[in-house]
Amino acid sequence: MYNPIIDKTKENPVILGIESSCDETAAAVVCGRKVLSDEIASSADIQALYGGVVPEIASRAHTDAIAQVVERAVKNAGIDYADIDAIAVTYGAGLLGALLVGVSFAKAFAYALGKPLIAVNHIRGHLSASYLACPTLKPPFVTLLASGGHTAVLYTKTEAEFEILGGTLDDAVGEAFDKVARVLGLKYPGGPHIQKCAEAGKPVIPMPKMLKGAGGYNFSYSGLKTAVINYCHTKEQRGETYSKADVACSFQCAAVDILVEKTVEGAKEKGVDTVTAGGGVVANAYLREQLQKACDRNGLKLVLPEKRYCTDNASMIAMEGAVQYMLGNFADMRLNAKASIPLATTLKT
């Protein structure tokens, strides 16, 4: 019988977070907003050989790693299993086989220990990473979400009320980074390599305007990606050389500037004084710098998660678990993995 005891009086619950939605097997322990441990095993090096994530390889790597990663997280947090108040696990969105490893493990663990189980939406985990960066952060705020699967500007009114101001109409920004990196012969995942390559370049190659000054808070990245592909292919067909650094830099500027512009606009329209950000692309140095400058110019406070909490990690899942714990949202043994969860329905709890 699974009938866990939930201590509703806990102000700073100890949450074990488990994340396995893509190629990172991660576990972390968070107490309140403090990270006690953060463990990660990645199959990115193997995936890089294939130029992207191969779902079956990711699932097998999770199966091999998960028990040790969770054990390390608990040990390095300096706690006993009995000290855990709840187990939070990513149940979607992501690769189904990969998610199932984390969800099955978390269910078994929660059952065996008699601990409450919390189902975490991966995207909300990215949003909650900002709570780790600022102990006093409270809604309302506007968030830029920029990852490999999502691009959106979101308004958080309270911990339980969200509004999507706009999102991508086609590719996610991280996906565009990865595809452009591939065209330039750079490794997977492309974002960090584009950033490095761009350091030696200048934004001298004209890029499409995308939805600058149009489309509300929506984004479109497929035109930008195609423009880069066409530029490189045309040069190659003509036997002309081109600067990869200039291409990377021009692309990065175009991809980032629109994110910054629409996020700040969203904050102004909603009348909030705080902007937050989350998702792997928020690890990008140029984005962090430009967002900071734009927030400073507009008198907005910017809360940015540390880079390691921007890319996939379990601390953000544990942190979001703590938010759900406070809201009283618990799962049970019927919890299943979901490959996709529409942003709209999941963001309104």
Q: Is 105 in the site for ligand KG4 (CB under 6 A)?
A: no
217 in Cβ contact with 165 (< 8 Å): yes
Asked if 166 is part of the footprint of ligand KG4 (rule: CB under 6 A), the reply reads no
Candidates 97, 102, 266, 280: give the one binding ligand KG4 (CB under 6 A). Answer: 280
How many other CB atoms are found less than 10 A from the CB of residue 293?
Answer: 12
Q: Looking at beta carbons only, is 131 or 231 nearer to Zn ion?
A: 131
Of 56-64, 147-155, 209-217, 227-235: span binding ligand KG4 (CB under 6 A): 147-155
Other beta carbons within 10 Å of 344: 11
Tell me how far, at minimum, the Cβ of 175 lies from ligand KG4, in Å.
6
282 interface partner picked from ligand KG4, Zn ion, none, CB below 5 to 8 A per type: none
Binding mask 202-231 for ligand KG4 (x = CB under 6 A): ------------------------------
Residue 231: C-alpha distances to residues 80, 180, 223, 257 (Å) = 57, 11, 12, 20
Q: Counting contacts by CB under 6 A, is residue 283 touching ligand KG4?
A: yes
Among 38, 85, 265, 312, binds ligand KG4 (CB under 6 A): 312
Helices (H), the chain: 44-50, 55-76, 96-113, 122-133, 173-183, 190-198, 222-237, 244-270, 285-297, 315-327, 343-347
Site for Zn ion in 68-87 (CB under 5 A): none
Q: Does 201 bind ligand KG4 (CB under 6 A)?
A: no
Q: Under the criterion CB under 6 A, does residue 178 sit at the interface with ligand KG4?
A: yes
Regarding 121 and contact with Zn ion (CB under 5 A), the answer is no
CA distance 9 to 138: 20
Please pick, from the candidates 17, 92, 148, 321, the single residue that binds ligand KG4 as defined by CB under 6 A: 148
By CB under 6 A, is residue 147 in contact with ligand KG4? yes
Using CB under 5 A as the binding rule, whether residue 20 contacts Zn ion is answered as no
Q: Which entry of ligand KG4, Zn ion, none binds 127, CB below 5 to 8 A by partner kind?
A: none
Residue labelled with tokens 């081109």: 242
Pick from 204, 144, 147: nearest CA to 178: 147
Phi/psi at 142 (nearest 5 deg)? Answer: -110, 135
Does 190 engage in binding with ligand KG4 (CB under 6 A)?
yes
Burial 5-25 (b: 16+ CB within 10 A, else e): eeeeeeeebbbbbbbbbbbbb
Cβ(18)–Cβ(26) below 8 Å:
yes
Residue that has been written with the tokens 């595809």 in this structure: 179
- Among 21, 20, 18, residue whose Cα is nearest residue 93: 21
Tell which one of 13, 189, 266, 321 touches ligand KG4 (CB under 6 A): 189
When CB distances are held under 5 to 8 angstroms depending on the partner's kind, the choice from Zn ion, ligand KG4, none that residue 116 binds is none
- How far is the CA of 216 from the CAs of 174, 256, 258, 261, 314, in angstroms? 21, 17, 12, 11, 33
Q: How many residues bind Zn ion (CB under 5 A)?
A: 2
Q: What angle, rounded to 10 degrees, do the helices at 190-198 and 285-297 form?
A: 70
Q: Please report whether residue 131 would count as binding ligand KG4 according to CB under 6 A.
A: no
Closer by beta carbon to ligand KG4, 117 or else 259: 259
Round to whole Å and give the CA distance between 319 and 38: 12
Q: By rule CB under 6 A, what string of x and - marks binding of each residue 6-25 to ligand KG4?
A: ----------------x---
From the list ligand KG4, Zn ion, none, pick the one residue 274 interacts with, judged by a Cβ distance below 5 to 8 Å according to partner type. Answer: none
Considering only residues 296 through 315, tell me which ones interact with Zn ion, judged by CB under 5 A.
312
Question: How many Å apart are CA 238 and CA 235, to the nearest integer?
Answer: 5
Residues at the contact surface with ligand KG4, assessed by CB under 6 A: 22, 147-149, 174, 177-178, 189-192, 195, 279-281, 283-284, 311-312
Binding residues for Zn ion, rule: CB under 5 A, are 147, 312
